[in-house]
Amino acid sequence: MSSPLKCFKQLFVFIAVFFRKSKLRLTPLTKTEVVKRLLDLAVVKVGNSERVVLVFFDLKCPFCAKLFKETEELLVDMANRGLITYAMCDYVVHRDAEPLHRMLRCISEKERLKFVRDAFEGKRVEIGNCPEGNLRICEKMAEELGVIGTPTLLFYHLAKGKGYIHFGYISPTEILEAISSL
């Protein structure tokens, strides 16, 4: 029979392993044509590099807001310097976000990042009556990649025809690590 002390040690080891900080989990992906189509449909697109960072987001998702606030400046700067293509594709999870996403597609491309920034900062944004546009097409294509929620990040190298997908929030450091793995 096991002693109570031995059982306690085994339980402690299990808890320590279960709750330890997880490493970055990137799922390999090879769907170049789907990625190219998503880039065409993306509501926000900055840069034109073979290395792609595509974020599936919902304007009412708190972790999407956290991710955006922490990484927007970095990713836009990298895209402007030609290091990556930074894109954002709608994946509406919260029903009350649908009018925001439709409006985002109705405004000029130059104003979209500001609209996203304002929405994520909780500022009042003007919502007009806009058609749905490509909103559902992005979601269907995202599901082809296995996307089931937000935020989801896709890291892809178009020339190599391979990349990775990550489900959930990750830190700016982990994003840089994923980009460098391309």
Domain spans, the chain:
27-180
pLDDT of residue 129: 78
CATH topology for the 27-180 domain: Glutaredoxin (3.40.30)
Q: What is the pLDDT of residues 61-91, one digit of tens each?
A: 999 999 999 999 999 999 999 999 999 999 9
Q: What are phi and psi of 27, to 5 degrees?
A: -95, 125
Q: What is the pLDDT of residues 84-140, one digit of tens each?
A: 999 999 999 998 999 999 999 889 999 999 999 999 999 988 887 787 666 788 889
Classify residue 97 as exposed, middle or buried by CB count within 10 Å of its CB (0-12, 13-18, 19+). buried
Tokens of 64: 């999407």
pLDDT of residue 179: 96
**pTM metric for this prediction:** 0.84
